[in-house]
């Protein structure tokens, strides 16, 4: 046996891997019971995609009812007991499972055959040629199934995949997604399906952890010997023209082992949002080869300064949120999330126009294509696991299952330079996550990314916390409570909604506003009273859309100007919009990705790297009133800014002077200016015109009377 191992080492590198793409149109069926397999598959649906895209359509996939109605239907035997759940958003349907089926062939026989289903919900079970390969509970991570023994290497193969039709198909102790503002749950195989064919040993995974100071990458490779004999192989890592790194490894039958190596990359370009340089490393043995794309990038927060740092340099986050799983239930969602051109326009063209460098993928993960595009676009992603339960309640999840699923979720994403922050939950305070899950899994990430964990006290010394300063939320219900923009003049921009725990850590404002409008300009369920108070019940859609953009830009300017946040991310860039929803986005046409014009105008200005904020919100002034206006500037750029600062009433008095602001600096100027002498409606406008950059403006509406 030792001679065989030595002979294997002496062989030239024969490493190769074939990946069979199994995406496309699959046949579909439905059932109440988990088995047997359906006799007929009479529907067709795309993979990746959702069950609501099937033709002919399945009944009630997009129908939703109240939780109380669902529980009553269970009691009256109109729905199966398995439909019971404490989670909002279960659609009423006479099924528990959807089934997918397709046929395929393979061209060459290899020792290893792994079926990979990148993401499917709710839960996955797989049969190949009538033989069950296994089940996977994860709804947000890839499932792997050993298919070698069941494959027909010389003819047709029939692949069958069963998923849950609703979250209750997954045991209550396993996460299936919680979102209390989501009405419809959208089952489907919503990410890629592929068959990996290779020799032995099999490269199960590769993790690349950049070491920016040394211009190198630490590479951890997980090898599996799927044969019945020991094997000794040379594991080789090669990237471009840099010197390869290699080492010999011996694996016993069935052994899985992680091996590490350092690849020196002197002179390699770093990855940043401004220059998203990407590299490839080829990891090979005599039996397998895996190519991994990565970027040399390190990202962290610092509690002492309450700031974020990219590659060791101060960096401010500006961006938005994407709640893709809410968009899944939008009537206009269709196949757009899997259309590369549409996603590129959403993640590249839009953010560049809006002066954004970051996103939070919120309450529901995106397909892996989205992360690939984010890498290329230069976006810093706060990647959130799909848990949202608030401060008081947490489902009966088992710690072991959570650790397994968080590990898989990290494995799927940790080579993406765009993934800058692990986010364990949204607006949740769970001792289980805080004290057990995060401390266990965070050490698996060799890049040591920071962790956000909703409304919990941070687990790491330099982990950030999130804040959701929804100032207008006080007006959600009729009554005396209201917020007025004039209150900003006396506020400092400190933490608000997440001020309940004693943390001095860096803070990200990754939600704010509470002025959502549907795309047609109608208020959402959460904002009807807000607009009734601000504009009256007879306001037009155009009036509401203009006020929304005006106030949202002002809030953005305010949060940025006071520098209490390491990042400012508005809520939200993409979500669902139809009658009865609670939040919405800013698209005039979401299918062509045409922005609502007021949002594109006002909010784009508020996110420019050189930001300007007029700390003045009074609605009226007396004619010729003399006063000083606080004009605040912030510089997110790593270089000093100089130029002209002008404050003026359009068609009225003006003041202009030279300004100078250091790199990453902030300053407030008290600018004396006399109000116009004639009554009427005016626009108070601050314009900062830096050398070499386009101007930034801040605007306030004022009536002289």
CATH code assigned at 149:
2.60.120.260
Give the total residue count for the chain.
Answer: 705
Helix (H) or strand (E) holding 548: helix 541-561
Q: Is residue 300 part of a domain?
A: no
pLDDT of residue 79: 55
User: How do residues 230-268 score in pLDDT, each as one tens digit?
Assistant: 999 999 999 999 999 999 999 999 999 999 999 999 999
Distance CA(140)–CA(85), nearest Å, equals: 19
Of 163, 179, 197, the residue that ends a domain is: 197
Instruction: Indicate whether 699 pLDDT > 50.
Output: yes
**Cα 534 to Cα 488, 543, 580, distances in angstroms:** 16, 11, 21
Instruction: Indicate whether 183 pLDDT > 50.
Output: yes
pLDDT band, residue 3 (cuts 50/70/90): very low
Of 607, 635, 664, the residue that ends a domain is: 607
CATH code where residue 413 lies: 3.20.20.80
> Are 532 and 628 part of one and the same domain?
no
Closest CA to 316 of 640, 564, 631: 564
8 Å CB contact between 123 and 137: yes
Q: Is residue 304 part of a domain?
A: no
> Are 113 and 237 part of one and the same domain?
no
CA atoms within 13 A on the CB side of 689: 8
Q: Is residue 305 part of a domain?
A: no
How much of the chain exceeds pLDDT 90, in percent? 85
Q: Would you call 313 helix, strand, or coil by DSSP?
A: strand
Instruction: Indicate whether 76 pLDDT > 80.
Output: no
pLDDT of residue 8: 37
> Are 431 and 495 part of one and the same domain?
yes
> Are 616 and 492 part of one and the same domain?
no
pLDDT of residue 2: 38
Distance CA(148)–CA(130), nearest Å, equals: 14
pLDDT of residue 493: 83
Q: Is residue 526 part of a domain?
A: yes
Determine which of 180-189, 237-246, 696-705 has the lowest per-residue pLDDT on average: 180-189
pLDDT of residue 60: 81
Instruction: Indicate whether 437 pLDDT > 70.
Output: yes
> Are 193 and 203 part of one and the same domain?
no
> Are 615 and 539 part of one and the same domain?
no
pLDDT of residue 75: 66
Token pair of 513 as six digits: 């506003």
pLDDT of residue 111: 94
8 Å CB contact between 158 and 129: yes
Segment 601-605 shows an average pLDDT of 98
Distance CA(84)–CA(76), nearest Å, equals: 12
8 Å CB contact between 424 and 435: no
Q: Would you call 633 helix, strand, or coil by DSSP?
A: strand
Determine which of 53-57, 69-73, 311-315, 335-339 has the lowest per-residue pLDDT on average: 69-73
User: How do residues 639-659 score in pLDDT, each as one tens digit?
Assistant: 999 999 999 999 899 999 999
Segment 682-691 shows an average pLDDT of 97
User: How do residues 658-683 score in pLDDT, each as one tens digit?
Assistant: 999 999 999 999 999 999 999 999 99
Distance CA(497)–CA(574), nearest Å, equals: 23
Q: Is residue 307 part of a domain?
A: no
> Are 48 and 166 part of one and the same domain?
yes
> Are 363 and 390 part of one and the same domain?
yes
Mean pLDDT for the chain? 93
The domain tally of the chain equals 4
pLDDT of residue 499: 59
Instruction: Indicate whether 517 pLDDT > 60.
Output: yes
Q: Is residue 29 part of a domain?
A: yes
Determine which of 390-399, 426-435, 675-684 has the lowest per-residue pLDDT on average: 390-399
pLDDT of residue 87: 54
Of 607, 633, 660, the residue that ends a domain is: 607
Helix (H) or strand (E) holding 406: helix 399-413
Q: Is residue 126 part of a domain?
A: yes
Instruction: Indicate whether 281 pLDDT > 60.
Output: yes
8 Å CB contact between 58 and 166: no
Distance CA(363)–CA(582), nearest Å, equals: 15
Strand 594-595 relative to strand 231-238: parallel, antiparallel, unpaired?
Answer: unpaired
Parent domain of 679: 611-704
Determine which of 1-15, 202-216, 569-583 has the lowest per-residue pLDDT on average: 1-15
Instruction: Indicate whether 83 pLDDT > 60.
Output: no
CATH code where residue 635 lies: 2.60.40.10
> Are 377 and 474 part of one and the same domain?
yes
Instruction: Indicate whether 81 pLDDT > 60.
Output: no
Q: Is residue 388 part of a domain?
A: yes
Strand boundaries in 32-86, DSSP class E: 43-47
Instruction: Indicate whether 357 pLDDT > 90.
Output: yes
> Are 585 and 663 part of one and the same domain?
no
pLDDT band, residue 168 (cuts 50/70/90): confident
> Are 374 and 513 part of one and the same domain?
yes
User: How do residues 498-514 score in pLDDT, each as one tens digit?
Assistant: 656 678 899 999 999 99
Instruction: Indicate whether 15 pLDDT > 60.
Output: no
Closest CA to 369 of 343, 397, 407: 343
User: How do residues 441-492 score in pLDDT, each as one tens digit?
Assistant: 999 999 999 999 999 999 999 999 999 999 999 998 888 888 999 999 999 8
Query: Rounded to an integer, what is the distance from CA 637 to the centroid of its chain?
Result: 25
More confident residue, 94 or 333: 333
Which pTM does this prediction carry? 0.94
8 Å CB contact between 169 and 125: no
Angle at 259 between CA 255 and CA 263, to 5 degrees: 155
pLDDT band, residue 72 (cuts 50/70/90): low
Distance CA(208)–CA(413), nearest Å, equals: 11
> Are 590 and 674 part of one and the same domain?
no
């Amino acid at each position: 046996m030792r001679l065989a191992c030595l002979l294997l080492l002496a062989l030239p590198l024969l490493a190769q891997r074939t990946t069979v793409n199994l995406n496309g149109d699959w046949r579909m069926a439905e059932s109440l019971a988990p088995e047997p397999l359906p006799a007929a598959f009479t529907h067709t649906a795309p993979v990746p995609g959702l069950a609501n895209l099937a033709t002919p359509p399945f009944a009630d996939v997009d129908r939703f009812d109240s939780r109380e109605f669902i529980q009553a239907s269970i009691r009256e035997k109109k729905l199966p007991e398995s439909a019971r759940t404490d989670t909002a958003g279960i659609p009423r349907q006479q099924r528990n499972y959807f089934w997918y089926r397709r046929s395929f062939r393979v061209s060459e026989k290899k020792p290893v055959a792994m079926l990979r289903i990148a993401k499917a919900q709710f839960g996955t079970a797989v049969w190949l040629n009538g033989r069950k390969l296994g089940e996977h509970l994860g709804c947000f991570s890839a499932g792997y199934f050993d298919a070698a023994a069941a494959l027909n290497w010389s003819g047709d193969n029939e692949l069958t995949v069963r998923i849950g039709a609703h979250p209750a198909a997954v045991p209550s102790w396993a996460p299936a997604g919680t979102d209390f503002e989501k009405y419809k749950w959208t089952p489907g195989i919503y990410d890629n399906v592929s068959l990996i064919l290779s020799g032995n040993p099999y490269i199960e995974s590769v993790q690349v952890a950049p070491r920016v100071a040394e211009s190198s990458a630490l590479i951890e490779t997980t090898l599996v010997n799927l044969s019945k004999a020991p094997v000794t192989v040379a594991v080789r890592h090669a990237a471009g023209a840099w010197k390869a790194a290699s080492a010999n490894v011996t694996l016993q039958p069935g052994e899985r082992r992680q091996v590490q190596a350092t690849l020196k990359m002197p002179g390699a370009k770093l990855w940043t949002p401004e220059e998203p340089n990407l590299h490839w490393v080829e990891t090979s043995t005599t039996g397998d080869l895996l190519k991994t794309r990565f970027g040399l990038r390190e990202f962290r927060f610092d509690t002492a300064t309450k700031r974020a740092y990219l590659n060791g340099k101060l960096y401010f986050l500006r961006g938005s949120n994407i709640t893709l799983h809410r968009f899944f239930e939008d009537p206009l969602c269709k196949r757009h999330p899997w259309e590369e051109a549409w996603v590129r326009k959403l993640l590249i063209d839009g953010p560049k126009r809006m002066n954004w460098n970051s996103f939070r993928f919120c309450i529901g993960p995106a397909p892996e294509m989205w992360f690939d595009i984010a890498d290329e676009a230069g976006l810093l992603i706060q990647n959130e696991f799909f848990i949202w339960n608030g401060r008081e309640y947490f489902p009966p999840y088992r710690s072991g299952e959570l650790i397994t699923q968080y590990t898989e979720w990290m494995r799927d994403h940790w080579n993406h330079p765009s993934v800058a922050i692990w986010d364990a939950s949204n607006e949740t305070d769970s001792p289980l996550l805080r004290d057990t899950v995060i401390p266990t899994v965070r050490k698996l990430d060799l890049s040591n990314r920071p962790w956000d964990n909703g409304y919990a006290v941070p687990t790491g010394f330099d982990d950030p916390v999130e804040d959701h300063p929804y100032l207008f939320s006080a007006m959600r219900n009729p009554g005396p409570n209201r917020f007025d923009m004039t209150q900003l003049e006396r506020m400092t921009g400190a933490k608000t909604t997440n001020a309940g725990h004693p943390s001095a850590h860096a803070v990200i404002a990754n939600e704010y506003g509470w002025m959502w409008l549907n795309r047609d300009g109608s208020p959402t369920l959460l904002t009807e009273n807000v607009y009734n108070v601000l504009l009256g019940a007879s306001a037009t859609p155009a009036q509401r859309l203009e006020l929304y953009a005006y106030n949202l830009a002002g809030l953005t300017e305010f949060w940025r100007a006071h520098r209490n946040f390491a990042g400012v991310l508005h809520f939200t860039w993409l979500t669902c919009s139809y009658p009865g929803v609670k939040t919405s986005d800013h698209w005039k046409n979401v299918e062509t990705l045409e922005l609502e014009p007021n949002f594109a105008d006002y909010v784009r200005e508020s996110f420019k790297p050189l930001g300007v904020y007029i700390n003045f919100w009074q609605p009226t002034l007396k004619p010729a009133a003399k006063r000083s206006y606080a004009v605040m500037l912030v510089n997110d750029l790593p270089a000093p800014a100089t130029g002209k600062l002008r404050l003026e009433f359009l068609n009225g008095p003006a003041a202009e002077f030279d300004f100078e602001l250091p790199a990453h600096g902030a300053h407030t100027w008290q600018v004396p200016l006399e109000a116009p002498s004639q009554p009427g409606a005016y626009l108070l406008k601050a314009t900062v015109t830096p050398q070499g950059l386009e101007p930034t403006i801040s605007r306030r509406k004022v009536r002289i009377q």
